[in-house]
Amino acid sequence: MAEQKDFDRMIDIYAEIFGSKWNILIINELLIGFRRFNDIKRKLEPITQTVLTRHLRTLEGYGIICREEIDGPVQEVRYTVTPQGIKLYESMLGTFAWIVENIIDKEKYGLSSGDSEQ
């Protein structure tokens, strides 16, 4: 069992990654393949440049995405999901399924999440 300090750190990291819709949307967008900064920004409007930069750096810092500089006549920076990021996304699918089954479907049929199924 992890020590309390380790558990607290895990909770902090979890909240930093999953506590922002932008992080999840960025990961989802990069699963399609390499994307340039402006492509991501356009796709995720109304995200600001500052917010996107902050989230890309966070995800890169955790090894979830990779930033690649391409040399050429014009310097290009591309982002993609790492194998670690793909594993993270796969684990998120279970959470998404739980949300659909336990919250969204119940909302659709007028049941509250506290109602038991008959």
Of the pLDDT bands very low, low, confident and very high (cuts 50, 70, 90), residue 115 is low
Distance CA 59, CA 26 (A): 9
Q: Is the link from the previous residue into 46 a cis peptide, with omega within 30 of 0? A: yes
118 pLDDT band (50/70/90 cuts)? Answer: very low
Residues 6+ apart with CB under 8 A from 39: none
pLDDT in tens, 9-30: 999 999 999 989 999 999 999 9
pLDDT class of 60 with cuts at 50, 70, 90: very high
The domains located in the chain, with CATH, are: 4-108 (1.10.10.10)
Alpha-carbon Rg for the chain, nearest whole angstrom, is 18
Helix/strand/coil for 110: coil
CB atoms near residue 59 (< 10 Å): 26
